[in-house]
């Protein structure tokens, strides 16, 4: 499902600007006509039997000469496991309908509701062409396609880059367009509509829905000295269309915290005491990204900060620090520390209360609501270590291990025992790069 990804999805335009620098760095490692092949395998596993992912990836770039490059990348994500469905823990037995609408699963008292039918495979292909226009300017054109069981995405991007100040200063401006089609298993549920008992009319809206995204980015890169540079990017993005996670529901409870017993969930209605989430059908966001790189005598310090804010009420800060310690001329170690924190969306709700949020006929009084912890408030800390070794003059092996701990803000959970549990995940990646 499109919202469950290993890597947080940055705006394509921001990635494009960062990839300009990557393309330029290839020039020192390859010659005209050489292929730069970078392959990797990533393993990601969440605690408590939740999502596990396997991600092989291959990137191939060719130096066409005269600072012109073409890059291709293929990534395959295979995800399995169990994922939260948005409902919270309860002292009662809870029964949910599968996304297909044809079956059900039961969750025991005190357990976090997890959908165990979660399976997904995503294949993504991207291509880039970095073409000089003249001695001081170039354009980077990109295209991407991604497909999975319930989701397809098409994207195009263009970035113009110009050098000034003896090529010590670079300005860039980019535009990225993304077109997504969401095809939920069991068709599209109506937001804030009741989950239905399996096998009855699910009252779905149709087979698919769409979303369009536009990202505009401007970037500034400055070489301060022979050993120091910094980069500053600003991105404005806007999207319109379907933003819901169609698998997520909210629990509707009586004022005393028990599952709703209102007439709309009485026996024979076909309704369960859960409403599908509903998010606004538009979103605008602003992103400020700063990165600084400093080369010591042998080691390299890399620091970045990212600020994100949107009109949903989410504000986040990301601090990332890497220190590349050169063991010798062929080997290095790189510790990594990342800290992320965000506030919750304005429409984030732990649950909906019968009578104040939902009327007696099951109609929601609120306009938007989601109990997805990913749009709630939480903090995340990642600690990692990478090891790299040059096997030959034209090849390198890297190994990376990381531990991520995510702490959910449960300060506003109304009743003890309903807290969303914290999450721990391990990440292991192995990569092999060579010039061919």
β-pair type (104-107, 94-97): antiparallel
3-state secondary structure of 156: strand
Local structure of 265: helix, strand or coil:
helix
Rounded (5°) CA angle 76-382-292? 90
Question: What confidence tens digit (pLDDT) does each residue in 335-390 have?
Answer: 999 999 999 999 999 999 999 999 999 999 999 999 999 999 999 999 999 999 99
Asked if the model's pLDDT at residue 74 lies above 80, the reply is yes
For the beta carbon of residue 435, count every other beta carbon within 10 angstroms. 17
DSSP string, 17-66: HHHHHHHHHHTTT--TT-EEEEEEEEEEEESTT--EEEEEEEEEEEEEET
Q: Give the pair of three-digit tokens for residue 434.
A: 């060579």
User: CB–CB of 387/331 below 8 Å?
Assistant: yes
pLDDT for 117 equals: 75
For residue range 186-218, list pLDDT tens digits in order. Answer: 999 999 999 999 999 999 999 999 999 999 999
Q: What does the DSSP 8-state code read for residue 199?
A: T
Query: HEC profile for 102-146?
Result: CCEEEECCCCCCEECCCEEEEEEEEEEEEEECCCCEEEEEEEEEE
H or E segment to which residue 12 belongs:
helix 12-26
- The two beta strands, 352-353 and 249-253, are parallel
3-class DSSP state of 188: coil
Q: Average of pLDDT values for 52-78?
A: 95
CATH of span 12-435: 2.40.160.50
Q: How sure is the predictor about 6, in pLDDT bands with cuts at 50, 70 and 90?
A: very low
1 pLDDT tier (thresholds 50, 70, 90): very low
CA 289 – CA 311 distance, rounded (Å)? 18
| Separation of alpha carbons 82 and 66, rounded Å | 50
pLDDT above 70 coverage of the chain, percent: 93
Does position 88 have pLDDT exceeding 70, yes or no?
yes
The residue with greater pLDDT, 214 or 11, is 214
Residue-range domain boundaries for the chain: 12-435
pLDDT of amino acid 20: 34
pLDDT band for 118, please (50, 70, 90 cuts): confident
Q: Indicate the range of 13-17, 41-45, 199-203, 424-428 predicted with least confidence.
A: 13-17
Instruction: Kindly indicate the confidence band of residue 30, based on its pLDDT and cuts at 50, 70 and 90.
Output: low
pLDDT (0 to 100) of residue 119: 80
Q: pLDDT tens for residues 154-177? A: 999 999 999 999 999 999 999 999
């Amino acid at each position: 499902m499109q919202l469950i990804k290993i890597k947080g999805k940055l705006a394509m335009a921001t990635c494009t600007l960062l990839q300009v620098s990557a393309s330029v760095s290839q020039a020192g490692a390859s010659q005209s006509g050489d292929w730069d092949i970078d392959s990797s395998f990533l393993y990601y596993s969440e605690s408590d039997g939740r999502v596990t992912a396997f991600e092989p990836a291959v990137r191939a770039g060719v130096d066409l000469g005269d600072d012109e490059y073409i890059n291709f990348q293929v990534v395959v994500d295979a995800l399995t496991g169990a994922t939260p469905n948005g409902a919270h823990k309860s002292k009662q037995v809870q029964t949910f309908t599968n996304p297909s609408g044809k079956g059900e699963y039961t969750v025991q008292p005190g357990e976090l509701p997890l959908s165990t039918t979660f399976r997904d495979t995503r294949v993504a292909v991207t291509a880039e062409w970095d073409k000089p226009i003249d001695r001081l300017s170039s354009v980077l054109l990109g295209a991407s396609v991604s497909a999975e069981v319930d989701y397809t995405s098409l994207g195009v991007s263009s970035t113009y880059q110009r050098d000034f100040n003896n090529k010590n200063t670079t300005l860039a401006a980019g535009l990225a367009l993304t077109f997504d089609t969401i095809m939920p298993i069991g068709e599209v549920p109506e937001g804030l509509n009741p989950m239905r008992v399996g096998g009855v009319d699910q009252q779905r809206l149709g087979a698919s829905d769409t979303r369009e995204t536009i990202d505009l980015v401007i970037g500034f890169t400055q070489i301060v000295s022979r050993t120091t540079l910094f980069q500053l990017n600003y991105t404005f993005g806007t999207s319109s269309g379907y933003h819901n996670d169609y698998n997520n529901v909210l629990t509707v409870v009586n004022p005393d915290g028990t599952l709703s017993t209102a007439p709309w969930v009485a026996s024979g209605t076909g309704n369960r005491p859960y409403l599908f989430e509903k998010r606004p059908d538009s979103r605008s966001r602003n992103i400020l990204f700063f990165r600084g790189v400093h080369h010591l005598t042998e080691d390299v310090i890399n620091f970045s900060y990212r600020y994100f804010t949107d009109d949903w009420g989410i504000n986040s800060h990301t601090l990332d620090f890497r220190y590349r310690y050169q063991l010798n001329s062929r080997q290095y170690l790189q510790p990594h520390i990342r800290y992320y924190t965000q506030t919750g969306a304005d429409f984030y709700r732990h649950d909906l209360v019968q009578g104040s949020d939902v009327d007696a006929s099951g109609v929601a009084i609120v306009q938007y609501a989601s109990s997805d912890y990913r749009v709630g408030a939480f903090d995340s800390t990642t600690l990692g270590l990478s090891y790299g070794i040059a096997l030959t003059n034209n090849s390198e092996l890297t190994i990376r291990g990381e531990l991520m701990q995510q702490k959910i803000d449960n300060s506003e959970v109304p009743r003890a025992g309903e807290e969303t549990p914290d999450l721990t995940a391990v990440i292991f990646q192995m990569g092999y790069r060579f010039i061919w």
